[in-house]
Structure 1
Amino acid sequence: MKEITVQEVQQSIENGNKLNLIDVREVSEVQEGHVPGSINIPLGLLEFRLPELDKNTPYIIICRSGGRSGQATEFLNYQGYNATNMVGGMLAWEGKVEQ
């Protein structure tokens, strides 16, 4: 499974790169704070929302600590998507957050 650190994601955003971030936490968790520009697809709904995703687009998957995003990353990669797990999740995130 491909992994990326929160620092690498933060640096990429600060450098002006457009990242495709998917937050797989529950809606209530995301409302408490999320990485700016991320979209919320709760882990339990991911398989039903696959048609919204593009297999040619690289995605970075986010959750609270890295567990659910790891599951989502493995699932997406198995389905033929280009997904990378953000290790440490929002607990390790030190950048801007939106609510």
Structure 2
Amino acid sequence: MEIITVAELKSRIDAGEKLNIIDVREPDEYAEFNIGARLIPLGKIQAMQIDEIEDLKSEELIIHCRSGKRSATACLFLETMGFENTKNLEGGMLAWQDMIK
């Protein structure tokens, strides 16, 4: 697992890169505020219910949650399932909302 900062992610989104961003928060958190990532709650990843991203094993996955803890856990789980390039968004959505006003 690598780390990506909010500034790096924002810059890549603004540049129009095609990114695989996964939000591992709960649906109510996602509904409250999101950056358009694909919602796959951490519980689904821990239960290995990841059919929808199975084809992304060799691609970069940027994982985020509220603060960075659940997404770090998700990265570790995904790596044990064969995902080769996971990046945890440092500080999660709290850092995003602090920096991107």
TM-score if structure 2 supplies the norm length?
0.87
CA deviation after TM superposition for structure 1 residue 58, in Å: 1.2
* C-alpha distance in 1 between matches for 2:57 and 2:77: 13
Deviations 1:9-59 (A, max 9, x none): 0000011111110000000000001113x1100000114332211212211
Structure 1 unmatched runs, 5+: none
Matched residue SS, 2:4: strand
* Deviant stretches of 4+, over 4 Å: none
Higher helix share: 2
**Is 1:66 aligned with 2:71?**
no
What are the within-5 Å matches in structure 2 for residues 2-41 of structure 1? Answer: 2-36=2-36, 38-41=37-40
Task: Report sequence identity in percent.
Answer: 46
CA RMSD of aligned residues (A): 1.4
Structure 2 gap ranges (5+): none
1:51 & 1:87 partners in 2: Cα distance?
Answer: 26
Match of 2:86 among 77, 83, 86: 83
Instruction: Report the 3-state secondary structure (helix = DSSP H, G, I; strand = E; otherwise coil) of the residue aligned with 1:48.
Output: coil
- 1-side partners of 2:10 and 2:49: how far apart? 26
